[in-house]
Each structure stands twice: as C-alpha cells, then as structure tokens.
Amino acid sequence: MEVSNEVSNKDHKLEREMREVGELSLVRLVNDSTSDEESELVSLSLGISSTGKHEKKIRTENSRENEDLKEGLSLGLGIRFDPSAIQNQSTESRCDGEMKEEELREIWPPSKVLKTMRTWDKSEASQHAEVKKARVCIRARCDNLTMNDGCQWRKYGQKIAKGNPCPRAYYRCTVSPSCPVKKQVQRCAEDMSILISTYEGTHNHPLPTSATTMAYTTSAAASMLQSPSLTTQLGLLNSDTVPLLNSNVLYNLNALNFTSSCHHVSKSPHLFFHSSSISTSSSHPTVTLDLATLQTSPHIGNFTPSLSFIPKYSSTNVDFPSSTFSPLQSSVLHSPCYGDYFNYEGLITPNRNLNGSHMNTGKQPFLGHLCRSNNITNHAVSKQSLPDSIVAASKAITATPKYQSAILAAALTAYAGNGLRENHDEAQSAGLDLNLGGDMPYTTKTIYPNSNASRYKRMSFSAPTAPKINSVIFQPSHASKSNLLLDQ
DNA sequence: CGAATTTGACCTGCGC
DNA sequence: GCGCAGGTCAAATTCG
C-alpha cells in the first residue's frame, strides 16, 4: 500500500514537472521568435518569479529532458506562438470549416495514453514549483455556472476560499490530456451575478475556433504581464502606449463566446471595459479584465481612465503625463469590428475579411490590423483617423526591442480577432457562415453552490484582506484629465 | 458501464 | 515550528 502510494505520488510529481517544462519552453519560444535581442527577454521571462539559480537549474533540466519532450511539445509550440502556425491553423479551419471536436480528439491519444505524458510533466514541475505562472482573471456578469470560452474543462476540485462564501471550482483543460491550462471559477462575493474566471497556463494543443479567442487573449495578457520588457521599461511608456497594448487584449476579449444567458455582454452592440488591472502579487502575477462593468454607452469617447502602475521589476516609480484615453483605444473600442465581434447569437464571428478571404497572414504589422479595422464602418460612430500620438506610440514601441514580446502577444490577439464581419447581413450576402466559431459545450455541470458545510469547517468568512499587490488599474473617470498615480 | 463530478484527505507555501 | 489557506488528489458517487 505504501509502495503504491509512493509510486502514485511520483507519478503526480512527474506530471507537474512535465507541464512546467512545457511552459518554460513555450516562453522561450515566443521570445525567440520576436527578435534577435530576445535572449535577454528569455532569461527575464524565466526569471519572473525565480532566482537565477533556479533558472539555471531549469535550463539544465530542460536540456536533459528536452529530447524526450520534443515530440510531445512540438505541436503545441508551433500552434501556440508561431504566427505562421497560427495562420495555418486558422486557414485550415477557415477552408474546411471549424475543426470539429471529434477531429481534435483524434489528434490526441486517448487519455490513458496521455496519462503517461502527464506523469512526465510532474517530475519537472515539482522542481520548478517556484516558477509562478501568470494568470488572467476575467470578471463577467453571467447567470450560468460557468462562462463558455470554447474549451473543454474537467472539474478536479472545489473549495471555499477565504473571504468568499461561494466555493471556488478548479478545472483543468481536457482538450488535450497534457494541456497545462487550469481555470478557477468563482462567484464574486460582493455581487453573486459576477462570475470570476481565472486562467492559468497556455494551451499546448490545437483549439476549437470558438476557444481561440480566449486562449489568445489570456495568452496575450499573460505575456504582457510576464514581459519584463514591459514592466521594467515603463518609464518609456506613455499614456498612449499603455492603452495600446492593453486595448488589444481587451479588444479581443470582447469576442469571448458567452453563453446566451450572459446577455449583458453578448448583446451589447458597443462594448468597452470599465476597468482592467494587472497585479503582480507575490504568488501569481495576474491580469484582471473586468467585463462586469461593461456598458453600452454611446459616450465612449468620454471615457477617461485613471491609471496607476507599479512595475514589479523596478523599484522606481514612474510618472506618466496626464492624458485622456488613448485615441487608438477609443477608435478600437468604437470600431464596428469591435462591436460586431459578437454576432446575434453572441457567438464569435469567423476570422474572415469582408471578401471572405483569409486575413492577416501573421506578417502584417500589428498596428496595421488596428488601422484596417478602423476602416470597416457601418455603425453610427465617429470615425477617427489614426492620430499622430498613436503613430508616435507605435514608433516608440517598435523602436524598443524590449517591448516586442508584449507586442507579439498583443499581435497574436489581434490575429485571433482579425477579419471581423461588418454585420450579419453582409456576412450572409457573402455566403459565409457566421457561426463557424461553433460552440463547444461544457462538460461540467455543477460548480455552485455546495451545501456540504462540514467539508469547509476550516473556512472563515472574514472580509477580504487588503490587497498587498502592486497594480495597474484602468478606471473610468468623468474628469477631464485622468489621474496617473503611482504608489507602492 | 464508462465518464464526469463530488468531496474528504492530503500536500505545499507562506506568515507569524 | 505551527497554523492557515490555497491547491490537488483520488476514491466514492452520480450521471448519461
């Protein structure tokens, strides 16, 4: 009995470690692909929450085990971060229709086979336990038990977290048994109608079209957060560039495939985010995207955020000049594309351009996408040409290699959200199927509530403790000028 | 009957 | 070192 337990524990250890190695390798890949100068980024990314010593250990482990992992990881790597791979994937799903769930399952071996792969994962992970993964937290009003992000999840645990009477459910991505992505779902204590979904990790497998938006968005947000280039160089950012990066994450987030009950979001013709935040808490750096305060206000142009940012990697406070919300962000948010990201069923519109041809091969500049989206008009919103400030911002960013990983992440997000349909009628006239995104149903059924109180006898219901985190917070303000505060 | 969920037990990290 | 809280495991249970 003891022996079998020991073996079992070793298996889990291996599983964790294998997943961790996958994450680290992926981080390296995305950085390598951005520029020649990314070697610095690689090490910084790896070192986000680890010491140099640990980093060294990771690399040693990686090289030792790399050969065995190669096969298991190569597919996911290519699809995840290689733009051409993304293009291929997208192209395939556009040409042949959405990659069906069944097809995905055929690609991956049965769970029993891949259980061995997970076992692999664990041995590495335990050795790299200190390497904390970035998380992307999404708050959205949703009546359903869970937000439909297009992925398949399997519940593996549930627990009451301190300060919230609602149980937190733990899910694992089951599209691929070796996928390291996890999700936590919990109701907001203050407002039970708000569902808080926290994503961790990056998918290492092909995703259903309906899931790509979330995947790329969370990936981009996480990359943004993890990018030392962004967090260490904030002194070079201005109020245009910060929203520039964030806008694309937020922009793409609006394509989330909410279930129909999330009408507050899915039926909104024009969406914008009241707030998003980045926290770099000691345990897990987290990007929080708040969809719960979405509004359909036509006065988006008045949206002026207050911004505070305390970079994790720098002890130096940075003062940003006051300014209104980035015109680029404003234009993006105003974009008909933005509003039309949801079709009338609240589903993601396909990644096609107005001609029905495939868009964005992954070689187009990031800003190009944004400019193009600005050209597609059909709504009664003001059209803005790209202001000089944005051009300046783009120059500033592209001239700074250290921003490139963040840009890449944002660009991937843009790719995922590219080729939006102008509206449903136009799509139909073009002979397109707007529902290519499909809607992979959840396999989970019950998350909340849990009546078994005895299980949580240790829980306490004290008020949430004051955040000890550094944060970036975008908040709406009706003041003429935004407040850019820095404190630590 | 296999797959998915539930839930008590256990592990781990962190603060004191 | 201890206790707490978050997170995970895995046997039992439920579901389709």
For residue A464, cis peptide bond before it (omega within 30 degrees of 0): no
Query: Residue A457 is which amino acid?
Result: K
The reply to whether A133 has its C-beta less than 7 Å from any atom of strand C is: no
* Residues A352-359: contacts with CB under 8 Å, at least 24 apart: A352/A94, A352/A419, A352/A421, A352/A432, A353/A418, A353/A419, A354/A421, A354/A422, A354/A426, A354/A430, A355/A430, A356/A430, A356/A431, A356/A432, A358/A87, A358/A90, A358/A91, A358/A94, A358/A419, A359/A418, A359/A419
CA A227 / C1′ B3 distance in Å: 40
The reply to whether A283 has its C-beta less than 7 Å from any atom of strand B is: yes
Strands (E), A291-447: 304-308
The reply to whether A460 has its C-beta less than 7 Å from any atom of strand B is: no
Please give the C-alpha separations between residue A30 and each of A81, A83, A132, A425, in angstroms, as whole numbers: 6, 10, 18, 38
The reply to whether A444 has its C-beta less than 7 Å from any atom of strand B is: yes
The single residue listed with the structure tokens 């000028």 is A481
Q: What is the pLDDT of residue A175?
A: 84
CA A290 / C1′ C9 distance in Å: 32
Residue by residue, what is the 3-state secondary structure of A158-185? Answer: EEECCCCCCEEEEEEECCCCCCCCEEEE
What b/e readout covers A319-354, taking b as 16+ CB neighbours within 10 angstroms? ebeebbbbbbbbbbbbbbbbbbbbbeebbbbbbbbb
Strand B bases, protein C-beta under 7 A: 3-9, 11-15
Question: Which residues, at least 6 apart from A328, have a Cβ–Cβ distance to it below 8 Å?
Answer: A240, A243, A244, A247, A370, A386, A387, A389, A390, A393
Strands (E), A335-406: none
Do A82 and A356 touch, CB atoms closer than 8 A?
Answer: no
Can you give the pLDDT of all 488 residues of chain A as single tens digits? 344 444 444 444 444 444 444 443 433 433 333 333 333 333 333 333 333 333 333 333 343 334 333 333 333 333 343 333 333 443 333 333 334 434 443 333 333 333 334 334 434 443 343 346 778 888 888 777 777 777 889 999 999 888 888 899 999 988 887 888 899 999 888 888 888 889 888 888 877 777 777 777 777 776 666 555 554 443 333 434 444 444 444 445 444 444 334 444 333 333 334 456 666 554 677 778 877 765 443 333 333 332 233 333 333 333 333 333 332 233 333 333 333 333 323 333 333 333 333 333 333 333 333 333 333 333 333 333 434 444 444 444 444 434 434 444 444 344 333 333 333 333 333 333 323 233 333 333 333 333 333 333 333 333 333 333 333 333 333 333 333 333 33
Distance CA A23, CA A201 (A): 7
The reply to whether A455 has its C-beta less than 7 Å from any atom of strand B is: yes
CA A162 / C1′ C6 distance in Å: 9
Distance CA A95, CA A358 (A): 9
Residue A160, beta-bridge partner list? A167
The reply to whether A184 has its C-beta less than 7 Å from any atom of strand C is: yes
Residue A476, beta-bridge partner list? A305
- Pair type for strands A135-141 and A285-290: parallel
Please give the C-alpha separations between residue A392 and each of A68, A152, A367, A397, in angstroms, as whole numbers: 46, 42, 12, 9
Residue A400's nearest CA partner among A286, A250, A280, A245 is A245
Q: List the single protein residue with the shortest CA to C1' distance from C16.
A: A443
CA A52 / C1′ C9 distance in Å: 31
Nearest-nucleotide field for A447 (CA, C1') = B5
Q: Strand C contacts (CB < 7 A) among A residues 296-335? A: none
Query: Residue A150 is which amino acid?
Result: G
Do A277 and A162 touch, CB atoms closer than 8 A?
Answer: no
Nearest-nucleotide field for A9 (CA, C1') = C9
